[in-house]
Each structure stands twice: as C-alpha cells, then as structure tokens.
Amino acid sequence: MKLAHALLGAFVFAIPIRAQAALDIFACEPEWASLAEALGGDKVSVYAATNGLQDPHQVQARPSLIARARTADLVVCTGAELETGWMPVILRRAGNARIQPGSPGYFEAVSAVRLLDAPSRLDRADGDVHAAGNPHIQTSPRNIRAVAAALSRRMQDLDSTNADVYAKRTEDFLTRWDGATRRWEEMARPLKGIHIAVAHKNWIYLTTWLGMDEAAALEPKPGIPPGPAYLSQVLADVPRKSIRFLIYAAYEDARPADYVAGQAGIPAVPLPFTVGGDKDAGDLFSLFDITIARLVAAHAS
C-alpha cells in the first residue's frame, strides 16, 4: 500500500502544472482582445467573442459565448450601444456578478474617449443611429492609446498582485504605439484635405484623425441599403466633390462599393477595420500599417 501511495505521489508530481492566468478576460471585439493581450501578456487569458470578418452589430448570443462569460473576471466591450443586440443577453444568462455593468469587472472602451457623431435627435427614420455617438472608436490610434491607459488601470485594480507587470507592459506598449502613430501620421500626410466616399458611416474617427473629408456615403442613412436613384446621386457626387476613392470594411459586402467605384472610375479600397480583418492584420500595429499603406496607395493611383 505504501508503495502504491508513493508511486501515485510520484505520478502526480510528474504531471506538468500549467500556469493559470490571473485574469480571465472576455473581449467583445478583436481590437480589445489584442489590446488586452498586449497589456497583460501571460498574466491574462483572453477570449474574443467576435472576429474581424463579423459585423459587430449582428452577433448571436450563442451558448458558447454565455459559457465563456460565466467564468470571466473582466468583460471589455466597446459600448455606446454597439453590442446592444447581443451582449445584454449574454450578461444576463451568464449570471456572473463580477462582470455586470457597474461592477469593476465590466469595462467599456468608449468611457476613455470623446465620441463623435452624436445625433441631434433620435428617430428610427434616420437609420441605425447610436444615441451616445459613433461607437467605432478603434479606427483612430489616438483612441487606442486612451483606451489602453484606462484598461490597464482597470486590470491593475482587479489584479493588484500583478499590477507592476501590467504597468510595465503598458508603458512599453504606449512607447511603441506613440512612435508608430508618428510614423503613420507622417506617411498619411498627403491624405489631409482629400475627399473620399465611405460605404457605411463607421470611419469618422479615422477620417478625423487624418484630416480627410467624408464627402459621400453609399447608404442614404446608416444601415439603410441604397436604391438606384440614390446611387445615381452618389455617382454624380464623385466628380462634383472631387472624390478620390471609396473605402469599406472587410466584413461588408464589397459589391456596392465595387459597382460605384467601377462606374465612377475611382479605386474601391477594402480596409481591415479591426484585428483579423485581413490575414496580415494580426495585431493593432499591423492593422494600422495595412490601413495607412492602402489609403496612401489609393491616393497615389
């Protein structure tokens, strides 16, 4: 019997022990999953609820998402009603008190930035508008910086044992991020003041950052598909407003953009929109590398 216990003990100690992450993070969008991983390293376990080729407005509250939220220590979402169609259901069904709105384990990225495009009125006739403002804040690196600082503080509060690790990783990330931002801004200098068209009004933070003018949109109102008469109006606007090219997100249907661009004789430029929206956009740095390179190339064509 003693021999059996000894052998069992030896077997148990021989099993490799996998280090457990201190924080289990549920990220609503890929950009926040990537950011949390950059700030947390091996101290966090990060689950992305969506991928770069999904419309973040149109997500199902699947049982697998509910199960992951049930064990999370921290939820990181964009907020501003972006996830209103699915995240409230997940939070309710998960039954996890740690991550409910108002608790330390619930973090909205929009809390760290100033929102643009807040509507002057709320009317469903105006299309899919967000009461607080445009939620697509991840298209500007300045917003990413602000969110990184705020998210790091929240992670440090939740896991004080590893606070120094998070602080050091955040300092390193922000140093590299500031250098990259300066490089992107220098590369994009020729874009300032040009007029472009957008497939959907989800680029306001990108165009504001770079000083580009959104002179036309392929939707008459946000989320409302265009009819032939409206597309004819957009086509007329291209030469009248000196529109140089048209941009759309990787998750969006390319056909309307390709049609208008083909008829108008301008480039239609697909942009990743978030991490994973392009096979080479594996993190936040490569996301903006690709975005700026494609915009500059379209302007030069």
pLDDT at 13: 41
Other CB atoms closer than 10 Å to residue 246's CB: what's the count?
Answer: 25
pLDDT at 12: 39
User: Would you kindly state where each structural domain of the chain is located, as residue ranges?
Assistant: 23-183, 189-300
Mean pLDDT, to the nearest integer, of 217-225?
86
Mean pLDDT, to the nearest integer, of 119-138?
72
| 123: confidence class by pLDDT, cuts 50, 70, 90 | low
pLDDT at 9: 45
Q: What is the third-level CATH fold of 189-300?
A: Rossmann fold (3.40.50)
Q: Establish whether domains 23-183 and 189-300 are of one fold.
A: yes
Other CB atoms closer than 10 Å to residue 113's CB: what's the count?
Answer: 20
Has residue 2 got a pLDDT over 90? no
Q: What is the third-level CATH fold of 23-183?
A: Rossmann fold (3.40.50)
pLDDT at 108: 98
pLDDT at 14: 40
Q: Where do the DSSP E strands lie in 51-144?
A: 74-77, 106-108
| 126: confidence class by pLDDT, cuts 50, 70, 90 | low
